[in-house]
Amino acid sequence: MNNQELLTNVEAKAQIWLDGNYDEETKKAIKNLMAKDDKADLIDAFYTDLEFGTGGLRGIMGVGTNRMNKYTVGAATQGLANYLKKNFTNCAEIKVVIGHDCRNNSRFFTETVANIFSANGIKAYVFDDLRPTPEISFAIRELNCQSGVIITASHNPKEYNGYKAYWDDGGQIIAPHDTNIIDEVNKIKSVDEIKFDGNPALIEVLGEDMDNLFINKVKSISLAPEIIKKHKDLKIIYTPIHGTGVRIVPMALRKLGFENIINIPEQDVVSGDFPTVVSPNPEEPAAMEMATKKAVEVDADIVIASDPDADRLGVAVKNDKGKFILLNGNQTAVLLTWYLIKKWKETGKITGNEFIVKTIVTSEILKEIAIKNGVKSYDVYTGFKWIAGIIRELEGKQKYICGGEESYGFLPGDYVRDKDAVGSIAMFAEIAAWAKDNNMTLFELMQDIYLEYGFSKEKMKYIVRKGQQGQQEIKAIMEKLRHDPPAIIGGSKLVLVKDYVSLKATDKTNNKTTDLIMPVTSDALQFFTEDGSKISVRPSGTEPKIKFYFEVKEPFKNKADWDATNEKADSKIDQMLTDLGA
pLDDT digits (tens, 9 = 90+) for 276-297: 999 999 999 999 999 999 999 9
462-473 as b/e: b if 16+ CB within 10 A: ebebeeeeeeeb
Neighbour-count burial of 427, counting CB atoms closer than 10 A to its CB (0-12 exposed, 13-18 middle, 19+ buried): buried
How confident is the model over 156-180, as a mean pLDDT? 92
Contacts 24+ apart (CB under 8 A), 500-509: 500/360, 500/381, 500/524, 500/525, 500/526
Q: How confident is the model at residue 542 (pLDDT cuts 50, 70, 90)?
A: low
Q: What pLDDT score does 541 carry? A: 67
CA 354, CA 377: separation in Å to the nearest integer?
9
How confident is the model over 60-76, as a mean pLDDT? 95
3-class SS at 265?
Answer: helix
Q: What pLDDT score does 2 carry? A: 64
Hey, do 48-206 and 455-579 end up sharing a CATH topology, with the first three levels equal? Answer: no
ω into 176 cis (within 30 of 0): yes
Question: Computed from CA positions of residues 230, 232, 235, 241, in that sequence, does the dihedral angle turn out positive or negative?
Answer: positive
Cβ-based neighbours of 56, under 8 Å, separated by 6 or more: 76, 162, 163, 164, 165
Mean pLDDT, rounded, of the chain: 95
- SS3 assignment for 364-432: CHHHHHHHHCCCEEEEECCCHHHHHHHHHHHCCCCEEEEEEECCCEEECCCCCCCCCHHHHHHHHHHHH
Establish whether 190 is a catalytic residue: no
Start-to-end CA span in the chain (Å): 31
How confident is the model over 234-245, as a mean pLDDT? 98
The residue extents of the domains of the chain are 1-43, 48-206, 212-453, 455-579
DSSP 96-132: EEEEE-SSTTHHHHHHHHHHHHHHTT-EEEEESS---
Question: Which one-letter amino acid corresponds to residue 463?
Answer: I
Q: What pLDDT score does 545 carry? A: 86
Q: What pLDDT score does 484 carry? A: 92
Q: What pLDDT score does 467 carry? A: 72
Q: What pLDDT score does 4 carry? A: 82
Under 8 Å between Cβ of 544 and 456: no
Q: How many CB atoms lie within 10 A of CB 201?
A: 8
Q: What is the pLDDT of residues 157-167, one digit of tens each?
A: 899 999 999 99
Query: Which of 424, 53, 35 lies closest to 252, judged by CA?
Result: 424
Q: What pLDDT score does 472 carry? A: 85
Q: What pLDDT score does 143 carry? A: 98
CATH number of 212-453: 3.40.120.10
Query: Which of 364, 273, 253, 376 lies closest to 313, judged by CA?
Result: 253
Report which of residues 4 and 426 the model is more confident about: 426
3-class SS at 151?
Answer: strand
Task: Kindly tell me if the per-residue pLDDT of 1 is higher than 60.
Answer: no
Under 8 Å between Cβ of 252 and 422: yes
Domain 48-206 superfamily per CATH: Alpha-D-Glucose-1,6-Bisphosphate, subunit A, domain 3 (3.40.120.10)
Q: How confident is the model at residue 548 (pLDDT cuts 50, 70, 90)?
A: very high
Under 8 Å between Cβ of 559 and 455: no
Under 8 Å between Cβ of 494 and 509: no
Q: What is the pLDDT of residues 293-310, one digit of tens each?
A: 999 999 999 999 999 999
3-class SS at 230?
Answer: helix
Question: Which one-letter amino acid corresponds to residue 36?
Answer: K
Q: What is the pLDDT of residues 458-484, one digit of tens each?
A: 999 888 887 767 788 888 999 999 999
Identify the bridge partners of residue 458 per DSSP, sorted by sequence position. Answer: 551
Domain 455-579 superfamily per CATH: Alpha-D-phosphohexomutase, C-terminal domain (3.30.310.50)
- SS3 assignment for 501-512: CCCEEEECCCCE
Q: What pLDDT score does 53 carry? A: 76
Cβ-based neighbours of 223, under 8 Å, separated by 6 or more: 339, 340, 343, 344, 347, 430
Q: What is the pLDDT of residues 6-30, one digit of tens each?
A: 899 999 999 999 999 999 999 999 9
Which one is catalytic: 118, 154, 306, 424?
154
Q: How confident is the model at residue 234 (pLDDT cuts 50, 70, 90)?
A: very high
The phi and psi torsions of 399 (rounded to 5 degrees) equal -105, 120
